[in-house]
A and B are shown apart, each in its own frame.
Chain A
Amino acid sequence: MNGLEHATPAVIALLLIALCSFYREFVRIQRGWQHTIRRIPGVDAIEGAVGRSAEQGRAVSFTTALTDVGPVLYACLGVLQSVAKRVAQYKLKLLVPQYSPEAMAVVEDSVREAYSEVGKSGLFDPESIMFLSSEQFAFASGYMGLMHREKPGAAFLFGSFAAESLVLSEAGQQVGARQVAASVSPEQVAFFICTCDYTLIGEELFGASAYLGRDPVQVATVAAQDRFKLLLVSLIAVGVLCATVIAFVPGLAWLRPLDLLSVGWEAIAQ
């Protein structure tokens, strides 16, 4: 659907299904329905990494790297809040290097809120959220310098990454930090698997915040996305089945249900 400027009828139908699915889960949560979220080792490791830093008396670093204000940043904020609360409880130093000035304001607010939620507002240091650069490699250079100066015990790399991913995670490796990474950029996942202790892949990043916070609304969002994904996977399975049948029986070429997704309004009007 890359570059689709206007929705086709089938896309509108899918969007409506997504909205309904979200609404259904939200109503169920309000009525007290309890969902369970599968354990993800990488998410469990987040708590362990902060605990290890506390034992060693070392700082904790959390970066959202190239993530701009958007859904990915909001998913990262859930995890950041959870990390910030633990850091505040253990009275550790938190380092949150920033790339985007827009995201920085939201991140600062979020960390401040986390400190106040655990009653440690006095420990919040605005200087812990530092703007490094909005230039990719200048940011990477600043991050490396920070890692070598502060030598954190745990480093979390959550969000969108590009070519600088390996530079960031190698810097953490060099100072012996326990690293947990989560990226929605598939190209960078391999680099993180090589250099980090745990890697959350793709949508696990979105699930992590719900898993850590146990927030009902976030859990409802994860449940809705799973239902919707199930529908899409079913559509893919039907498409594969139809394509296979057509390959063997060319006479059944009309059997292309997924072509419906690209049929425009003009074709329907005719």
Chain B
Amino acid sequence: MMQREGRDPRALALRVLTFLGGLYFFLYFITPESLIEQTSIKAAHESISNGFIAVGSMAIGLGIINILAAHGLKLIFAKKGWQFSLALLVGMFVMIGVTIAHWITTDRLSADIRRVQVIGDFAGRIVEDARSEPGRYKSFAPTGVLPPLQARVAALDQYGIETTHYLNLSGTSFTGDLALQELQSECVEGAKTLTDLLIKLRMRSWNNLDQEGEALLTSVSQQAARVASTYAIVRRKESARWLSSRLYDFLYNGLFNHLGASMFALLGVYIAAAAYRAFRIQSVESALMMTAALVVMLGQISFGKMLYSEMPAIRQWLLEVPNSAAFRAIRLGAGVAGLMLSIRMWLSIESRKGGGHK
């Protein structure tokens, strides 16, 4: 169905890619779900969809280049309104810098917290695995078979001691408000208790898991979970004071979000102005609109019910019947039109002249 316009190899390649991409999603849509589940397509589908999203996200780079080109040139040649371009570029770079700094610090913070959480998870997993059949196959183990219990406990002990030592070092600043100091001290005390429990692990044999050993590992797991949760609160409270967090909070939550909210607040004023303009009865349509609006408004308030007890029911009928029907009609028409245009885009059918988009 393609026209011969596609002699340009770039345009032809685009058309072929568009067609193949569309064909994949079309076939995925029309194939029965049971058939999809029997094949490996289901698992690959998410990756394929993410691939398309990744291609789309490249447009962010395109957007940044466009901004730099348009506003950078304006600034360099000192064209009219260059001050606005300067403000935009400065704002953009400051926001990019602050967001990257904030991202790096929160990423490090999450890794630190996770490091502590792992102790509890690891101890819990050892107990869980030891309870089940020993030596059974485990897909997550590198060799496919779990290492011996003794080796795993030794690894837990070593990792736990290293991490709690790190906790003891980082938690000794005792600065800030009283609540934070209390939490810091709780964290250090908890880490000491955890170290004691870990030392106890060394003092016994781990050839098999008896009741006492299971209780000890469970205590390690629970204590580590407690320490991890306190540590997470302490670190998050501390991180809120960092310069990158404070700048990000000020620029994004303090400035940007509130400016957006101010714009949204304008809507209230504009709705009143637009309503006034619309409700000047100049034609049969506006009279009809005015009457419907009046009924809906009266149906919403008790005064309307005082005037006529059936007013809320009429309001409900207006909203549910004529209003819904009109909404559905608009959606149906737009949906069908969108479907036909999608078919045309999928097959890259365009005229040689007029309306032909690349």
Q: Which 8 A-B pairs have the closest CB atoms?
A: A101-B63, A203-B333, A215-B355, A206-B337, A194-B278, A137-B263, A202-B330, A71-B341
With a cutoff of 8 Å between Cβ atoms, the chain B residues found around residue A166 in the complex are: 267, 270-271, 274
Does A180 touch B at the CB level, under 8 Å?
A: no
Interface residues on B, range: 35 or more
Add 8 more A-B contacts to A166-B274, A195-B277 (CB < 8 A): A26-B349, A105-B62, A110-B357, A113-B356, A131-B66, A173-B277, A184-B338, A215-B355
Is A74 touching B345 in the complex (CB atoms < 8 A)? yes
Stretch touching chain B among A11-19, A34-42, A254-262 = A11-19
- State how many angstroms separate the Cβ of B193 from the closest Cβ of chain A: 48
Q: Mark A184-224, 1 if CB is under 8 A from B, else 0.
A: 10110101011100000111011101000111111001101
Tell me if A228 is interfacial: C-beta within 8 Å of chain B. Answer: yes
Q: Which residues of A contact B270 (CB under 8 A)?
A: 166-167, 170
Name the contact of A202 in the complex, choosing from B74, B333, B354, B356 (C-beta under 8 A): B333
Q: Please, what's the 1-or-0 string for B329-357, where 1 marks a CB less than 8 Å from any CB in chain A?
A: 11111101111111111000111011111
Interface size, chain A (Cβ < 8 Å)? 77
Q: Mark B25-67, 1 if CB is under 8 A from A, else 0.
A: 0001111111010000000000000000000100110110011
- Is the CB of A81 closer than 8 A to any CB of chain B? yes
A102 contacts which chain B residues (CB < 8 A)? 56, 59, 62
Chain A 56-83 interface mask (CB, 8 Å, partner B; 1/0): 0000000000000011101101100100
- B100: chain A residues within 8 A (beta carbon): none
The total of interchain contacts (Cβ-Cβ below 8 angstroms) comes to 181
B278→A193 contact, CB < 8 A: yes
Query: B355: which of A187, A193, A217 is its contact (CB, 8 Å)?
Result: A217
Contact for A131 among B67, B260, B331, B342, CB less than 8 A: B67
Inter-subunit contact B340/A224 (CB<8 Å): yes
Give chain A residues whose Cβ lies under 8 Å from the Cβ of B336.
203, 225, 228-229, 232
Assess the B259–A141 pair: CB atoms within 8 A. Answer: yes
User: Does residue B264 face the partner (Cβ distance < 8 Å to A)?
Assistant: yes
Given A18-B340, A186-B330, A195-B274, A167-B266 contact (CB < 8 Å): yes
Neighbouring A residues of B67 by C-beta, 8 Å: 131
* A140 within 8 Å of B (CB atoms): yes
Return A174 CB to nearest CB of chain B, in Å: 9
**Assembly CA distance A221 to B337 (angstroms):** 8
Main secondary structure of the interface of A (DSSP, over half): helix
Which B residues lie at the A interface, using CB under 8 A? 1, 28-34, 36, 56, 59-60, 62-63, 66-67, 70, 74, 256, 259-260, 263-264, 266-267, 270-271, 273-275, 277-278, 326-327, 329-334, 336-345, 349-351, 353-358
Smallest CB–CB gap between A129 and chain B, Å?
Answer: 9
Residue numbers in A under 8 Å from B358 (CB-CB): 106, 109-110, 113
Q: Nearest CB to that of B57 among chain A residues? A: A102
Complex CA distance for A224 and B344, rounded to whole angstroms: 11
Whether A7 is near chain B, meaning CB under 8 Å from some CB there, is yes
**Complexed CA–CA distance, A213 and B332 (Å):** 24
Given contacts A75-B341, A102-B56, contact A6 B32 (CB under 8 A): yes
| Interfacial chain B residues near A161, Cβ < 8 Å | none
Q: Are B338 and A71 in contact (CB under 8 A)?
A: yes
Q: Is A47 an interface residue (CB 8 A)?
A: no
Whether the Cβ atoms of A130 and B70 lie closer than 8 Å is yes
Question: Given contacts A131-B70, A229-B333, is CB(A163)–CB(B355) below 8 Å?
Answer: no
Contacts of A209 in B (CB 8 A): 355
